[in-house]
Chains A and B, each alone.
Chain A
């Protein structure tokens, strides 16, 4: 697990109120938005702002689409590509 992966799991744990270690079970196929009813637009907005702070990235609103939050894998891929550019 690289730093981005670890940090992203920690952020999702904080947003979803998971117990320590629970997010370790996330796989690339774990569904996020859509499968997690508690992820409403306000929670997703908070998640994005927190990702910017903790991952030192800047997210443009144009980059946010439904597919991004479809699975843990898609969100991690996005976070890694942003960090590579940063």
Chain B
């Protein structure tokens, strides 16, 4: 496993170097990972890397890029919209010469075009957004403030908003609510039931599950060797 980087296009035409975790032995099968988004990205990062270790062990190169505004990225998330993430994944796919993509949860909402592959546990953008809005309303309530979805959305669409610790642009807010997976040919959905166990993105405390990582890696490895 190596720390690598890739040239990531930024809004306005600039470019930045973004970090990527790579298992690269110059092999033919090269899987780009489209990571889960927001809080789920944190909760599933360890699981994602465990899946990558298993893919590596099965003779498959794989790459986990940081999306701009996420993880180690120095970009301001408040200036990012979903299309920027799609372009980042396109750039990472080119840079690492990916042959396939494995998207995790919300990562499948911003897939690079043309790459075939898999989408583990698809989620609608509107569900991600709703959960973050609720988290904000609940924590405001604990602090004695009443907030509601309509007012938060109205304010957020104009000025951007912080939800559950993430600064979202108005454009991010607008687009996230409409994003759905499953429109791209060549992408096979892997429902969580096939992997089994309790979904790790739901865990209140981040956790790991070796049998789930085994299962997901096996599905991808079998698919690649078919």
Contact = CB atoms under 8 A, between A and B. Distances in A.
A15 B136 CA distance: 18
8 closest A-B pairs by beta carbon, nearest first, are: A43-B204, A45-B134, A45-B135, A38-B204, A41-B138, A14-B198, A41-B139, A42-B135
Interface in B120-168: 127, 130-139, 141-142, 148-149, 164
Nearest to A37: B204
A49 B137 contact: no
Interface of chain B, main secondary structure: helix
Interface of B: 39, 127, 130-139, 141-142, 148-149, 164, 198-199, 201-205, 207
B137 A42 contact: no
Given A15-B202, A16-B204, A17-B203, 12 more contacts: A36-B204, A41-B142, A42-B131, A42-B135, A42-B164, A45-B131, A46-B131, A46-B201, A47-B202, A61-B134, A61-B137, A65-B141
Contact of A45 (B138, B142, B199, B201): B138
A17 B149 contact: no
